[in-house]
C-alpha cells in the first residue's frame, strides 16, 4: 500500500475517480500526514474536498506523502515509497508522491496534493503528468495539515492541463472560514505573442543533460508557437528559493507540528524530525531580517516581471535514485528545490508540464506567472502539451483532441441598467460576445434614471450629484476585444462612462447624454428599469 494509505471502493456514480493526499481531511477517513502517531479521523471534509465531491468526483482513498509534507523526494514515509512508474530505482518525487503515481498509472483521473516548496510540481515531472500550483490562497486550506501555513497551497494532478484546470476551478474560491483564503483579483492577461523569461546561461550550470535537453526542447517549441524568448536576471528567485529552508521559514514547520515531533509520537521519520526540530533554532530577530531580505527580492523579482509575461524553468535539475537520496537525504532534496522553492514566497502561480522522456525517464518544465495569472499559465501549458503530443503519464495514451481551457482573461467589468439586463431584449448582445454575469449592483445615490424614446425601449442614466437615487443593475465582464466591439456598436444618446457603485467601486457602465434626458420621464423612484416596466403592466 505504498501509493494509498487508505483506500475504499469507488462510490456509485460516473464521475472521475479521485485521490486525496493524506494531509488533507476526508470525512470518515484517518488523516495521518504520513505519520501513524499523528492520525485523527475528521468528521468534516476539507473545503477543497467538499468542493471536489460537489463537482462529481468520486474519492477512492488517501495517498502517501513525505511525512508532514516535508520533502521533494517521496521517500520519507513509514508507509513505504510509491514506486516510480518509469524506474523503480528512482524517487517518485514528493511530497505528493502517492497522488502523482496514482494519476500517472491510471488508478485515478485526478488527485489533490499540496505544494509549499514544489510538492505539486516535482512529482508531476518525475511521473510525466501535469501539476497545477495555484496562486496562494485561491484554493482554501481549511482542513489541510499545515506545513508552512502562510505558504501552503492545495495543488492538482492530472494527465492533461484541461482536466487539471477543470478540477482547480471547481475547488477554488474564497472560504470565509479560512484566514488564509484570498479574494481573487482578475488581471488583464496578455494574449497572442508572449514574452517567455529564461535565466541567463550561468544559472543553468550543473543541470543534468536530460533535463537541460527537455528545457531546450520547450524553448524551441514555444518559439515555434510564436512567442519571444526574453533572458532575465534569475538571482532574486534563486535567493528566495534558498531562504525557504536556509532561513527562518523552517520555524513555521516547527510551529505547525513541532510539538508532536517533540513528543516523540510513533512513526516519525528521522530526516523530517530533524528538519522540523531545527526550526526552533531561529529567533524573531532572524525572522524579521529574513522578511526584510525577502521584501527586497520580491521588489527585484517585480522588475524582472516587467520584462516577461511567463517564466520558463526546468522543474528539477536532476532525477535522483533512491540510493542517492538515502546517501544524502538533505543534500539531494535541497538540489531538487532549486527551481521550485521561491514560488509561494514570491507569490507566483505555476504549471508543471511534461517535456518527454530521455533515456527512458520523463523530464518536465514549469511555467510561472505572477499571482492570479493562473489562467495564463494553464492556457500556455495546454498549448505546449498539445504541440508536444507526448504520451500521458505511464498509460501509453495520447491526447485525442486539442485542449480547451475555459476562463476569464481579465477584461472589463461593465455595468448595465436597461435593455442589456438579464431577460431584456438586448441581453443577447452580451451573451453573444462571451459576457459573464458577475453580480447584481446598485449605483451610489447620485444618479437619475429616465425613460428614453428609443426602439427598443431603453433608460438613460445620468449623474446628478445631490438629489439622486440608487439605481439597480447588473455587472457583466467582457474580454478586452469584446468590450471594444460592444462599445463601438452603442448608438447615441447612450455611451460608456465611469459609474460609481453603492460600495464605492468605480466601474465602466452605460450613461446617457443629459440633453437626451431633459424631456424624458424621470423614473428614478422605481429604483430600476425592470421595476418601471412592471408598473406599466
Q: Is residue 21 annotated as a catalytic residue, yes or no? A: yes
How many CB atoms are located within 10 Å of the residue 217 CB?
16
Q: Is residue 95 annotated as a catalytic residue, yes or no? A: yes
Rounded (10°) CA dihedral 120, 123, 125, 127: -130
Burial 17-42 (b: 16+ CB within 10 A, else e): bbbbbbbbbbeebbbbbbbeebbeeb
Q: Which long-range contacts (CB under 8 A, 24 or more apart) does 319-322 make?
A: 319/90, 319/91, 319/126, 319/208, 319/210, 319/211, 319/361, 319/363, 320/73, 320/90, 320/91, 321/89, 321/90, 321/91, 322/75, 322/81, 322/89, 322/90, 322/91
* 21, 133, 166, 458: the active-site residue: 21
Torsions phi, psi of 504, nearest 5?
95, -10
* 77, 95, 212, 254: the active-site residue: 95
Of 50, 32, 46, which is closest to residue 178 (Cα–Cα)? Answer: 46
Q: Tell me how far the alpha carbon of residue 181 is from its chain's centroid.
A: 13
CA quadruple 350, 356, 357, 358: dihedral sign: negative
Q: Is residue 96 annotated as a catalytic residue, yes or no? A: no
Q: Is 173 left (phi over 0), alpha (psi -120 to 50) or beta?
A: left
Is the separation of the CB atoms in 157 and 38 below 8 Å?
no
* 119, 181, 479, 524: the active-site residue: 119
Q: Rounded distance, CA 269 to CA 79, Å? A: 11
Catalytic amino acids? 21, 95, 119
Amino acid at each position: 500500500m505504498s501509493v494509498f494509505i487508505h483506500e475504499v471502493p469507488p462510490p456509485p456514480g460516473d464521475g472521475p475517480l479521485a485521490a486525496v493526499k493524506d494531509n488533507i481531511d476526508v470525512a470518515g477517513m484517518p488523516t495521518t500526514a504520513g505519520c501513524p502517531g499523528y492520525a485523527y479521523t475528521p468528521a468534516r471534509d476539507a473545503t477543497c474536498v467538499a468542493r471536489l465531491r460537489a463537482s462529481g468526483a468520486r474519492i477512492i482513498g488517501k495517498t502517501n506523502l513525505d511525512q508532514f509534507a516535508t520533502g521533494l523526494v517521496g521517500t520519507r514515509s513509514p508507509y513505504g515509497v510509491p514506486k516510480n512508474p518509469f524506474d523503480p530505482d528512482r524517487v517518485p518525487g514528493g511530497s505528493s508522491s502517492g497522488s502523482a503515481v496514482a494519476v500517472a498509472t491510471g488508478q485515478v483521473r485526478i488527485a489533490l496534493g499540496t505544494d509549499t516548496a514544489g510538492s505539486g510540481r516535482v512529482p508531476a515531472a518525475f511521473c510525466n503528468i501535469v501539476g497545477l500550483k495555484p496562486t496562494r490562497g485561491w484554493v482554501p486550506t481549511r482542513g489541510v495539515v499545515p506545513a508552512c501555513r502562510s505558504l501552503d497551497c492545495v495543488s492538482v494532478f492530472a494527465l492533461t492541463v484541461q482536466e487539471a484546470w477543470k478540477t482547480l476551478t471547481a475547488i477554488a474560491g474564497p472560504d470565509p472560514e479560512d484566514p488564509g483564503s484570498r479574494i481573487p483579483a482578475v488581471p488583464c492577461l496578455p494574449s497572442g505573442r508572449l514574452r517567455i523569461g529564461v535565466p541567463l546561461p550561468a544559472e543553468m550550470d550543473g543541470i543534468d543533460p536530460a533535463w537541460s535537453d527537455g528545457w531546450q526542447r520547450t524553448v524551441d517549441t514555444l518559439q515555434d508557437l510564436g512567442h519571444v524568448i526574453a533572458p532575465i536576471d534569475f538571482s532574486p528567485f534563486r535567493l528566495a528559493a534558498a531562504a525557504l529552508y536556509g532561513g527562518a521559514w523552517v520555524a513555521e514547520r516547527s510551529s505547525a507540528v513541532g510539538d508532536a515531533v517533540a513528543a516523540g509520537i510513533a512513526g516519525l521519520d528521522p530526516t523530517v524530525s530533524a528538519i522540523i526540530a531545527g526550526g526552533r533554532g531561529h529567533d524573531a530577530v532572524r525572522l524579521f531580517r529574513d522578511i526584510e531580505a525577502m521584501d527586497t527580492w520580491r521588489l527585484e523579482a517585480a522588475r524582472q516581471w516587467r520584462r516577461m509575461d511567463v517564466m520558463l524553468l526546468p522543474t528539477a535539475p536532476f532525477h535522483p535514485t533512491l540510493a542517492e537520496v538515502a546517501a544524502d537525504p538533505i543534500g539531494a532534496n535541497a538540489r531538487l528545490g532549486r527551481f521550485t522553492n521561491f514560488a509561494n514566497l514570491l507569490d507566483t502561480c505555476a504549471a508543471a508540464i511534461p517535456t518527454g522522456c530521455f533515456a527512458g525517464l520523463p523530464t518536465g518544465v514549469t511555467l510561472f506567472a505572477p499571482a492570479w495569472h493562473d489562467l495564463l499559465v494553464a492556457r500556455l501549458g495546454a498549448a505546449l502539451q498539445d504541440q508536444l503530443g507526448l504520451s500521458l503519464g505511464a498509460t501509453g495514451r495520447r491526447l485525442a483532441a486539442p485542449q480547451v481551457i475555459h476562463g476569464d482573461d481579465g477584461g472589463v467589468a461593465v455595468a448595465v441598467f436597461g435593455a442589456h439586463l438579464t431577460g431584456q431584449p438586448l441581453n443577447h448582445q452580451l451573451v453573444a460576445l462571451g459576457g459573464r454575469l458577475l453580480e447584481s449592483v446598485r449605483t451610489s445615490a447620485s444618479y437619475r434614471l429616465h425613460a428614453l424614446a428609443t426602439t427598443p425601449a431603453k433608460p438613460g442614466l445620468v449623474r446628478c450629484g445631490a438629489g439622486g437615487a440608487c439605481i439597480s443593475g447588473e455587472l457583466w465582464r467582457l474580454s478586452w476585444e469584446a468590450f471594444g466591439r460592444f462599445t463601438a456598436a452603442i448608438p447615441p444618446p447612450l455611451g460608456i462612462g465611469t459609474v460609481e457603485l453603492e460600495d464605492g467601486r468605480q466601474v465602466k457602465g452605460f450613461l446617457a447624454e443629459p440633453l437626451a434626458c431633459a424631456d424624458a420621464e424621470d423614473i428614478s423612484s422605481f429604483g430600476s428599469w425592470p421595476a418601471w416596466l412592471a408598473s406599466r403592466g
